[in-house]
Amino acid sequence: MIAKSSIFLPQGRTALAILVMAAAAVCSADDRNPFANDPKAAKAGEYEFRINCALCHGLGAHGGGRGPDLTRAQKKHTHNDAEMFQVISNGIPGTVMPANGTNGQGVGMTDEEIWQIITYIRSVEMKAPAKPVGNAEHGKQLFYGEANCSLCHTVAGKGGRVGPELTAVGGSRTREAIIDSVRNPSRRLAWGLTEATKEFPQEYETVTVVTGDGTEIKGVALNEDNFSVQMMDASEQIYLLDKDKLRSFKKSRESMMPVYSPNLLSDKDLDDIVAYLISVGAK
Ligand code: HEC
Ligand code: HEC
């Protein structure tokens, strides 16, 4: 009898105890990096980083298509080692930054390994904020004015909807990646909104259809399944169309976004626009 109850009752308690212990471990561990400035730990951390983080944050932590440059002296979410430990352990909700152990790496990293990674990041980090490139104020004027970006993009609640919202792009992608998106929009199409029902967000592919009455519509795909497609055209009209009623249906990986070549938008003006996006995204 006693043995039986000790199987049932304490199970809940064990789980609770593990939770409490884990919380305690995090609390005590997050104060100070036990490996601060230890070159051996930085080396081990670099190895861990390559396996777990470089996919998004790039080799050398310089940022990649999917994650910000972590060598920036000034960070957005993490102002000290303790906060960085929390971010790496728990991820950043609402972004693709994953919690430890949820990225297909099995059980995830130990506290020790997380501290080693932090030691590595600190070792490659710039000591002072980089001199800002570009004039954000002028970039804002261009974004909403001459360069026409706001026709298709919303930043901080203002602008169009044909392209993805760009409020956070300056905090989650590198300067180089944003510049590449403007110079070569089709090279890497942005991800659309993630819907709760979908495992992966849809890419911003371009769809051209001819309806039953012969009207041609071109727009971005918002959603698609075997039978229907939902799309938005350049004037933000949304269509939900049955595929079997269409005369033709074509999808292409040529972005709806025009290519902004240097004679259309100079390098300097693009630097200003990117400076604007980074100033918004860093908040
Ligand atoms: C699937 C892509 C992805 C992976 C894998 C990933 N990250 Fe991130 N990480 C991001 C994104 C995106 C952000 C920025 C979130 C935002 O602000 O929009 C981020 C943010 C961060 C930040 C906060 C930066 C700041 O400015 O405060 C740190 C630190 C960080 N990641 C460390 C790591 C480490 C260490 C690993 C590996 C253990 C890792 N990340 C793995 C995508 C990723
Ligand atoms: C005619 C509409 C249109 C205009 C004008 C336009 N864009 Fe885009 N943009 C899009 C669409 C659609 C996408 C998604 C497909 C892609 O990635 O190219 C996009 C994607 C992007 C991305 C990638 C976003 C991500 O999350 O990866 C950036 C950055 C961007 N645009 C910046 C700009 C800037 C800066 C300007 C002005 C200089 C601009 N766009 C003008 C339609 C437009």
Nearest Cα to Cα of residue 276 among 142, 116, 91: 142
pLDDT mean across residues, the chain: 85
Lowest mean pLDDT among 47-51, 65-69, 97-101, 230-234: 65-69
Report whether residue 232 contacts ligand 2, using a CB cutoff of 6 Å. no
| Rounded distance from Cα 61 to ligand 2 centre (Å) | 25
CB 206 within 8 A of CB 255: yes
CA of 72, closest atom in ligand 1: 26
CA distance 159 to 153: 5
Residue 4 to residue 16: CA distance in whole angstroms: 19
Q: CA 226, CA 221: separation in Å to the nearest integer? A: 13
HSE on the CB side for 252, CA within 13 Å? Answer: 11
User: How much is the average pLDDT of 11-24?
Assistant: 48
**For residue 270, what are the contacts with CB-CB under 8 A and spacing of at least 6?**
179, 182, 183, 260
Number of C-alpha atoms within 13 angstroms, CB side, residue 168? 11
Q: What's residue 1's pLDDT?
A: 41
How many whole angstroms from 6 Cα to the centroid of ligand 2? 60
State in Å: Cα 170 to ligand 2 middle: 13
Band (pLDDT 50/70/90 cuts) for residue 190 is confident
Q: What is the residue with the minimal CA distance to atom 39 of ligand 2?
A: 149
CA distance 233 to 202: 16
pLDDT (average), residues 47-76: 88
Per-residue pLDDT at 50 exceeds 60: yes
